[in-house]
Amino acid sequence: MPAAPPPATRSWWLEEALALPEFAGEPCPPLSGDTTADVVILGGGYTGMWTAWFLKEREPDVDVVLLEADICGGGPSGRNGGFCDGWWGHIGDIVKTYGEADALELLMTCGRSPAEIGAWCDAHGLDAWWRRGGDLAVATSPEAEGRWEGTIDVARSLGVEDEYRVLTPEEVRERCASPAFGAGMLIADAANVQPARLARGLRRVLLERGVRMFEGTPVSRFKASKPAIAETPGGSVRAGEAVIGLGAWATWWRAFKPVLTIRGSYMVVTAPAPERLEDMHWTGGEAVRDLRSSIHYGRTTPDGRIALGLGGLQPDLARGIDRRYDFHEPFARRVAEDVARLFPAFGDVPIEAAWGGPINVSGFTMPFFGSMGAGNVHYGLGYTGNGVAPSHLGGKILAALALHADDGFTRLAVVSREPKRFPPEPLRSPGMLVVNDAIRRKDDREDAGRWVDPFTGFVARIPRRLGFNLGPR
Ligand SMILES: Cc1cc2nc3c(=O)[nH]c(=O)nc-3n(C[C@H](O)[C@H](O)[C@H](O)COP(=O)(O)OP(=O)(O)OC[C@H]3O[C@@H](n4cnc5c(N)ncnc54)[C@H](O)[C@@H]3O)c2cc1C
């Protein structure tokens, strides 16, 4: 059994980035005193920062203040797996939720983001390890074989089947040899990045553009008035427009509680062993995931490490975000064991770091955007573990909303469509814990070649029966 990974306060990605002056940058001290702005942004993750970027692109003179409780990229934007892909992998759920025409528009619009992020990094001299390695979904049990068929059928009906390629087990092995992998599906138009370098690079460019950024500045009270008022321990910001990019922390907000819930996602990274990656043929930079509902996602680093994550975990009833979302030893140990199981060639390679983060989950698994208050407070939430590229599109949408520009972005279905509501408490948290456990048990049993009892299978499918795009079909 691998040794328990050391507890983390920061992700390995963020440690790596902060060790370099170009990504550490100068400190942005907390807000002290009262100020005004055209737009105040709550949250210094990708959503908040891409919004600031697109605001400045559209109107260079707009005065933007960004407030971040931690440091920019300290949340999931600096902790994620770095899979930088559009929504091609979700095509079935997207068509079901929005209809064919709107779905196609969403797929094409978000499909531009991975390449645009790469081009943006190049344009700003930012080495965020952007690599178009493709998204490789693999079967890890007989039940998972062919799970891509529904995806490809829907793609065919939209005329976009060329985005997908089915691979035989041998073809999968040529890209990533694992005794646990069967056949698979490749989406070539997908990249991966060093997530914290991207977040910290965004911060650097925004400071150069004159965005006023305050770190260590939690918004403690917010008034959705006109002007909107954000109060912090050291001062306040009054602004004509406000943008909420708080990710999972928006679940504290009464307005968002019914439509958002929290899950944990947990990652580990190994020591470098590039020669073993060569032996496994895993040298093409593929982002590899399995076809479970509680998904494993793995990728490599330029110095030959494997970073592996497991989603859909929750330390308890998941009513709030506490330290166990940064690090939770049972989950860290579980993912470390999965490295050895899925990639036995790395079985004796030390695990160097482990961390986690909260995922903000929406019922349709798609983010939703909109405006509230007097129409001057705009939000973008609910990425459900797929936010690296979609938050780039989110920034375009939120900048357009904040500038009251009635354009293609503000008319996308993720803006006009109401998010699905979760059942109310006290049913919701215990119900989700039970269902979530059943989903993971079903996935684990299938992977182990064990029988899934009908009760577990039934409970795991409850979310789909209730119209959510969550859990197995
Ligand atoms: C372990 C993990 C792996 C993931 N892997 C992937 C992946 O491979 N690919 C992918 O596409 N997505 C992945 N995701 C999801 C992705 O990271 C998110 O969807 C994305 O980062 C969301 O960005 P955001 O800016 O909306 O939110 P966040 O990055 O969560 O930013 C919100 C910010 O708000 C700040 N904040 C909170 N409260 C306050 C307050 N009161 N005042 C001011 N600021 C506050 C937080 O500190 C945080 O920095 C993963 C997530 C996790 C946790």
Strands 164-167 and 184-187: antiparallel
Q: What is the pLDDT of residue 7?
A: 66
Mutation test residue for ligand 1: of 14, 215, 249, 262, the one with most atoms within 8 Å of CB: 249
Q: In angstroms, rounded to a whole number, what is the distance separating the alpha carbons of residues 414 and 204? A: 29
CA-nearest of 83, 80, 81, 78 to 14 is: 78
**85 DSSP 8-state letter:** E
**Residue 472 corresponds to which tokens in the numbers above?**
């197995």
Q: What is the pLDDT of residue 412?
A: 98
Quick one: residue 381, left, alpha or beta (phi over 0 = left, psi -120 to 50 = alpha)? beta
**17 DSSP 8-state letter:** H
Helix (H, G, I), strand (E, B), or coil: what is residue 221? strand
Q: In angstroms, rounded to a whole number, what is the distance separating the alpha carbons of residues 386 and 394? A: 12
Mutation test residue for ligand 1: of 9, 80, 221, the one with most atoms within 8 Å of CB: 80
For residue 165, the CA-to-ligand 1 centroid distance in Å is: 30
**Residue 317 corresponds to which tokens in the numbers above?**
């009833």
Strands 164-167 and 235-244: unpaired
Q: In angstroms, rounded to a whole number, what is the distance separating the alpha carbons of residues 85 and 191? A: 6
Which residues, at least 6 apart from 54, have a Cβ–Cβ distance to it below 8 Å?
395, 396, 398, 399, 400
List ligand 1's pocket residues with C-beta within 6 A. Answer: 42-48, 67-70, 74-77, 79-83, 218-219, 245-249, 265, 267, 297, 309, 356-357, 359, 383, 385-388, 391
Q: What is the pLDDT of residue 3?
A: 56
CA-nearest of 190, 206, 188, 244 to 82 is: 190
**Residue 260 corresponds to which tokens in the numbers above?**
């958002």
Q: What are phi and psi of 173, to 5 degrees?
A: -60, -30
The number of helices, as runs of H, and strands, as runs of E, in the chain is: 16, 18
Question: Which atom of ligand 1 lies at the shortest distance from residue 383's CA?
Answer: 19
Question: Which residue's alpha carbon is at the smallest distance from atom 27 of ligand 1?
Answer: 247
Q: What is the pLDDT of residue 406?
A: 87
Question: Which atom of ligand 1 lies at the shortest distance from residue 358's CA?
Answer: 53
Question: Which residue's alpha carbon is at the smallest distance from atom 20 of ligand 1?
Answer: 387
Which residues, at least 6 apart from 122, have a Cβ–Cβ distance to it below 8 Å?
none
Give the largest Cα separation in the chain, rounded.
63
Q: pLDDT tens digits for 359-394?
A: 999 999 999 999 999 999 999 999 999 999 999 999
Task: Return per-residue pLDDT of the chain as tens, 473 residues.
Answer: 445 566 678 999 999 999 999 999 999 999 999 999 999 999 999 999 999 999 999 999 999 999 999 999 999 999 999 999 999 999 999 999 999 999 999 999 999 999 999 999 999 999 999 999 999 999 999 999 999 999 999 999 999 999 999 999 999 999 999 999 999 999 999 999 999 999 999 999 999 999 999 999 999 999 999 999 999 999 999 999 999 999 999 998 999 999 999 999 999 999 999 999 999 999 999 999 999 999 999 999 999 999 999 999 988 876 789 999 999 999 999 999 999 999 999 999 999 999 999 999 999 999 999 999 999 999 999 999 999 999 999 999 999 999 999 899 999 999 989 999 999 989 998 999 999 999 999 999 999 999 999 999 999 999 999 999 999 99
Tell me the CA distances in angstroms from 30 to 43, 67, 207, 235, one per residue in order: 13, 8, 15, 9
Question: Which atom of ligand 1 lies at the shortest distance from residue 77's CA?
Answer: 21
pTM for the whole structure: 0.97
